[in-house]
Amino acid sequence: MSKIRINYSSRQQKILAVWVALGAAMLLIVVWALGADTKFYIIGPVAYLGAMLTGRSRLVLTPQACVVKGIRPGTYHWSEVRDTSARAQKDSRIAVLTMRNGKEHTLAVPFDGARFPDPEFDSTFHTLTTHWHLHRGWSDTPEPTHP
């Protein structure tokens, strides 16, 4: 079975690109205002763009685990995940993995918020939950007893 990759939605990627461009422009203005050496006109914005673009969080769903890439990387094996849930926080919704030991891991994607909306949140969360159900290695339903 192939891997499933979950990134920010296309709308979120456009919003992120606008914010990165605005941040780079602001950094360029600050560097110019401070009278910094010419090389900082190039290095500053490029470093900022590189940090923003490489720091994007994403998930890779494999038959064995949910692999988180980006700012807070980690690997969560399906057999250790007790529950997946979508939680409301102020003006946003987030995905949370609850492990068998009770520890909770908030995932950066999928994420849906007022300032960073994801129209695909429900379908993406459904993909995550379905993948967990298929690969977790245990079932909620008791096995039938034979007389």
Compute the mean pLDDT over every residue in the chain, rounded to the nearest whole number: 81
Reported as a single tens digit per residue, the pLDDT across 46-65 is 777 666 665 577 889 999 99
Pick the CATH number of 4-135 from 3.40.50.720, 2.30.29.30, 3.50.50.60, 2.170.120.20: 2.30.29.30
Reported as a single tens digit per residue, the pLDDT across 73-104 is 889 999 999 999 999 988 899 999 999 999 99
Give me the pLDDT at residue 52, please: 64
Rounded CA-CA distance 77/9 in Å is: 24
Domain boundaries, the chain: 4-135
